Chains A and B, each alone.
Chain A
Amino acid sequence: MANTVVLEVFRYDPETRESRMQNFEVEYQDDWVVLDALNHIKDEIDGSLSHRWSCRMGVCGSCGMVVNGYPKLTCSAFIRDYLPGPIRVEPLANFEVERDLIVDFDMFLEKLQRVTPWLVRDEERPIEDGEHIQTPAQLAQYKQYTLCINCMLCYSACPVVSHEPDFLGPAALALGHRYNLDSRDQGTGLRLDEMLSSDGIWDCTFVGACSDVCPKHVDPAGAIQQAKVSGTMEYFKSFLMPAGSRK
């Protein structure tokens, strides 16, 4: 007697703009994850099902979906943890749905770009001068925030992203913070213009759901609160020492 579980899968047709839930009874192996079940459905039951995935091991960030109401990487959501089912699979919240379980993440890419997520130098270091030297302690300061895989589970979990569509959001702000903390970077002033704007850190009310759902333990909520502290110090400095404010 094979083990079967029912998946209730969100279907969306962009041509008719109609959505529905479709049930699939899936025979599963004990070590299967939800992604295995979705791939089985597409391969053996309904080839029209559309979903994103790639590495199957929680490092690419492609397979983020909402499983039983909670944002998860489906490659890391074990069927055995959801038994006896049914398992409800939906696309990430707060994004436009392209088709079925696929969301349009242009919204995130646009916000990411606004925080200038690369090393900014006043003057590029010439090749002959060798690499930027950084101590382990300096690396430790920002390393946690480099672990983001851009899976966007945090955007799906955040109630502020939900009702303030322009809010830069957890991952973008955490990545901006990552570069501000990098000793090699000289672009803090550039980033703070975006991060301290009204679409930036101040929209955050520290719900903390982003850090709860993050599969890489980046703690974007912590990054944003730290940015509020440093942003506040910058603010008061700009009044007290107008000449010596941020570069």
Chain B
Amino acid sequence: MSTSSRRALGPRWWLMRRSYFLVFVRELTAIFIAAYLVILLIILAKLGGDAGSYEAFRESLTSPGMLVFGVITLAFTLFHSITFISLIPQGMAIWRGEERVHPALIAGPGYVGLVAVVAIVLVAILR
């Protein structure tokens, strides 16, 4: 058999349907998480040095370009949060007798946790 009759979805499968595209966006969030972690590392590195170096870096973080990057990164990282928490229940089968615990009872506490962590960080930073 010289040529295969198998019809694969192909490398641009993620463009074929909206649901596939959203999965692709979900996977892209990892790039933004990694990129932000690098910036966080630099902030922490500057904190270990003198105030002048830190303040200069802080200034550079307020440029228009950084703001655009920040807003886009915030959108992508929030998309990760929402999709990741909403998918946790599918990987967990928790049973009460013959009924499976409703997914919302698992994802719900996840979202509560997200809000709680946001609150804790804001309080810690702003206090």
Given A69-B16, A228-B91: A96 touches B97 (CB 8 Å cut-off): no
| A91 pairs with B17, CB closer than 8 A | no
Measured between alpha carbons, how far is A209 from B14 in the docked complex, in Å?
A: 11
| A69 pairs with B17, CB closer than 8 A | yes
List of A residues within 8 angstroms of B2 by Cβ? 17
| B92 pairs with A226, CB closer than 8 A | yes
Q: Which of A44-52, A133-141, A186-194, A234-242 contacts B (4 or more CB under 8 A)?
A: A133-141
A179 within 8 A of B: no
B65 within 8 A of A: no
Given A137-B98, A225-B91: A97 touches B6 (CB 8 Å cut-off): yes
List of B residues within 8 angstroms of A212 by Cβ? 19
| A163 pairs with B91, CB closer than 8 A | no
A167 within 8 A of B: no
Given A141-B95, A225-B91: A17 touches B8 (CB 8 Å cut-off): no
Known: A17-B5, A140-B95. 7 other contacts (CB 8 A): A19-B5, A94-B9, A95-B6, A97-B7, A162-B10, A207-B20, A225-B90
CB distance from A95 to the nearest CB of B (A): 6
Q: When each residue 80-110 of chain B gets 1 if its CB lies under 8 Å from chain A and 0 otherwise, what string results?
A: 0000000100111101011110000000000
Q: When each residue 1-34 of chain B gets 1 if its CB lies under 8 Å from chain A and 0 otherwise, what string results?
A: 0111111111101101101100100010000000
What are 6 contact pairs spanning A and B, CB under 8 A? A19-B5, A97-B5, A97-B7, A140-B97, A140-B98, A221-B90
| A94 pairs with B8, CB closer than 8 A | yes
Which residues of B are interface residues toward A (Cβ below 8 A)?
A: 2-11, 13-14, 16-17, 19-20, 23, 27, 87, 90-93, 95, 97-100
Measured between alpha carbons, how far is A141 from B94 in the docked complex, in Å?
A: 9
Which residues of A are interface residues toward B (Cβ below 8 A)?
A: 12, 14, 17, 19, 69-70, 90-91, 93-98, 136-137, 139-141, 159, 162-163, 205-209, 211-212, 219, 221-222, 225-226, 228-229
CB distance from A204 to the nearest CB of B (A): 11
List of A residues within 8 angstroms of B11 by Cβ? 163
From DSSP, what is the main secondary structure of chain B's interface residues?
loop
Q: Whose C-beta in chain B lies nearest to the C-beta of A229?
A: B91
Measured between alpha carbons, how far is A34 from B93 in the docked complex, in Å?
A: 36
CB distance from B47 to the nearest CB of A (A): 35
List of A residues within 8 angstroms of B17 by Cβ? 69-70, 209
A141 interface neighbour in B4, B13, B90, B93, Cβ under 8 Å? B93
| A163 pairs with B8, CB closer than 8 A | yes
B13 interface neighbour in A97, A137, A159, Cβ under 8 Å? A159
A94 interface neighbour in B3, B6, B99, Cβ under 8 Å? B6
Q: Whose C-beta in chain A lies nearest to the C-beta of B23?
A: A207
B5 interface neighbour in A90, A96, A136, A222, Cβ under 8 Å? A96
List of A residues within 8 angstroms of B3 by Cβ? 17
CB distance from B106 to the nearest CB of A (A): 12
List of B residues within 8 angstroms of A141 by Cβ? 93, 95
CB distance from B15 to the nearest CB of A (A): 11
List of A residues within 8 angstroms of B6 by Cβ? 94-97
List of A residues within 8 angstroms of B97 by Cβ? 137, 140
List of B residues within 8 angstroms of A208 by Cβ? 19, 23, 87, 90
